[in-house]
A and B are shown apart, each in its own frame.
Chain A
Amino acid sequence: MSMDRRQFLKITGVSTILGIGAVAGVNGLSRSPVEASQVEPSPDALKAKRWGFVIDMSKFRTDDDFTRVRHACHSIHNVPDIDNPKVEIKWIWKDTYEHTFPGQESKYMAEEMKDKPFMVLCNHCDNPPCVRVCPTKATFKRSDGIVMMDMHRCIGCRFCMAACPFGARSFNFGDPRPFIKEPNPEFPTRTKGVVEKCTFCYERLAKGLNPACVDASQGGIVFGDLEDPKSEVRRLISKHYTIRRKLELGTEPSVYYIIGGNENA
């Protein structure tokens, strides 16, 4: 199912249409985030001031823990399975501590720690350089903190890929459709020449569902409102020592990692 712009506008309703109209005219000048949604809002929709993830790496013990999560995300979002690391598309994947947190390793650190796999994905940065550089607002930040992509607007300039310091973005170097094994008709497939990445399962939140990775992680990934002091994510952050990627760059990632500790939830 791929929505064209007309359908998309119909579904999002008059208020959003006006919103987008105004946005096209003045948003460049104002700092307010773009309000747009590709799905009909439901009364059960999950809402937050700033969505975030806490990923407890102690809950990821086997390879299967990683592949299950990756598969859950990639299969429902029609992420193609391209077997070439240079042009592959990935929304959530694993990499080692050493490469996820470059500069944090030390030569005296146990090999085990250096090679410890971490789940990585778009950080939905609070101060996202990808949004700053996009010349068409195809990448934009919603008021709930989700850094979104409008794949119908993206011109494929890849400025956002140069700007993202986390390698979170993938570009469709060719038509992705032949590489989707079992397409999910509920979610749009993409065309060649556009950039894509994790979208925090905005379409599931709107229906009142958890992000797919959260459900598949068996407690390893917790999501919630970072602005709500009573949220589960905030409880975990206050209770555990957490780390985030490349803090020195000031992008303010919304993904927190708990390295050790057996306790959670």
Chain B
Amino acid sequence: MLEKALSGGKGYWAWIFLLLAIIGTGFACYLMQFNYGLGITGMSRDVSWGFYIAQFTFLVGVAASAVMMVIPYYLHDYKTFGRVVILGEFLAIASVIMCMLFIFCDMGQPTRVMNVILHPTPNSVMFWDMLVLSGYLALNLVIGWTTLGADRKELPPPSWVKPFIYLSVPWAVSIHTVTAFLYAGLPGRHLWLTAIMAARFLSSAFAAGPALLILLAMIVRKVSKFDPGKEAIQSLAKIVTYAMCVNVFFLLLEVFTAFYSKIPGEMAPIKYLFVGLEGHTRLVPFMRTASVLAIGGIALLVYPNTRKNESILPFSLIAVFIACWIDKGMGLVVGGFVPNPFERVVEYSPTVPELLITLGVYGIGALALTILYKVAVSVREETEAGDIQEGWHGSGH
């Protein structure tokens, strides 16, 4: 099926070459980092994780969010998702690939990466994270590829893949839970030491992931004959709405606990993020932007008329997506390191090479996604758009 990615119009190839250029730039910067060390980034002994790990954390969420399509479609026989579910699974694949690359970029000694497998250490959450992420990648590759292959022949997916689909549901939850445990079990990092960390991660994932998916589906609809369906988009938008409300609610729970208990260590990082600490305010403008976007996005999504209006919907979704990205892709990781163990504020900002490497990884993700979507869309177009066999439910439209 992969050959479908090799035929496309001018626009398609222009996009591919743009991505290749971005990847090339990122790779050149990575070589610089490989030679010099992580000193070319903005990280320090105080803020020892930065942009890479934050992007990793955010993207695990995007990957996990495929479950929001898999559950309704496969478990509840919700046929409306028949066309988006493959987009969700392929988005998960691209996201996990990016997650792995970000971890790799963050390593001080990347050539020793196999040590994690050579010296398996079950008491380290990172060991489990590696296991669940690779497992999730494999699951989605198998499921996505087989269901699409069956679709092409206008047959229901083979029954042996069913158990894998069911397994992928708890597995999706596990990848984000384990990722939350990377943070939530560390003594002395107050922002992270919270029992609802995994819950917060999942809620923000189920808001940002489907929001991105709708936006992608809208693009796919524009550039191809493949239409995921208005109803599917609306159902996903409702998922985004609920998840984002829960996400903000969870954040408010954290704020209450910190500021009603008045425990200084609990309050400090939240103050740092939203109002600044000891005159250090680097993240404040971002976190406030995120707050405004979150509230605005929720307002537009909750109100049915604006949610149903497809020319407004993309903006609400972009608002929600950016809000979640700032919260997790910038605030969460850095906030955990501020103040440092000596109660001093050391700030962090990424450097240009660091940003270009990050962009390069996103470029690889976008390339993988483009290829996968191209294949999926071509297959669907082949089987005559709009007349697709609905999986093993066997009922067409």
Q: Which residues of A contact B (CB under 8 A)?
A: 24, 28-29, 86-88, 95, 98-100, 102-103, 129, 132-138, 153-159, 161-167, 169-175, 191-195, 246, 249-251
Contact = CB atoms under 8 A, between A and B. Distances in A.
A158 B124 contact: no
Given A155-B108, A194-B109, 13 more contacts: A86-B346, A88-B45, A135-B115, A135-B116, A158-B106, A158-B108, A161-B45, A162-B337, A165-B188, A166-B341, A173-B44, A174-B37, A193-B37
Contacts of A133: 124-126, 186
A249 B183 CA distance: 15
B10 interface: no
Contacts of A156: 38, 107-109, 112
A148 to B, nearest CB: 14
Contacts of A174: 36-37, 39
A159 B342 contact: no
A24 B186 CA distance: 25
| Most chain A beta-carbon contacts within 10 A, residue among B126, B337, B342 | B342
A171 B108 contact: yes
Contacts of A191: 109
Contacts of A166: 188, 341
Given A103-B264, A249-B188, A155 B115 contact: yes
A134 B121 CA distance: 8
Contacts of A251: 187
Counting chain B residues whose Cβ lies within 8 A of the other chain, the interface size class is 35 or more
Contacts of A98: 343
Contact of A162 (B44, B109, B336, B344): B336
A32 to B, nearest CB: 13
A186 B125 CA distance: 36
B396 interface: no
A76 B337 CA distance: 31
9 contacts: A28-B122, A86-B346, A98-B343, A135-B115, A154-B112, A158-B48, A167-B46, A172-B37, A193-B108
A83 B264 CA distance: 32
Interface of B: 36-39, 43-46, 48-49, 103, 106-110, 112-113, 115-116, 118-127, 130, 182-183, 186-189, 264-265, 336-337, 340-344, 346
Nearest to B342: A99
A101 to B, nearest CB: 10
Contacts of B107: 155-157, 193
A28 B106 CA distance: 24
Contacts of B43: 173
Contacts of B337: 162
Contacts, number: 143
Contact of B343 (A99, A162, A195): A99
B44 A161 contact: no
B108 A103 contact: no
Contacts of A159: 124, 126, 182
A165 B337 CA distance: 10
A164 B124 contact: no
Contacts of A132: 123-124
B109 A193 contact: yes
B178 to A, nearest CB: 12
Contacts of A175: 37
Nearest to A133: B124
Contacts of B36: 174, 192
A171 B38 contact: yes
A102 B342 CA distance: 7
Nearest to B103: A157
| Most chain B beta-carbon contacts within 10 A, residue among A100, A135, A159 | A135
Contacts of A192: 36-39, 108
A134 B124 contact: yes
Contacts of B106: 157-158
A171 B116 contact: no
Contacts of A87: 39, 44-45
Contacts of B126: 133, 135, 157, 159
A137 B37 contact: no
| Most chain A beta-carbon contacts within 10 A, residue among B124, B337, B346 | B124
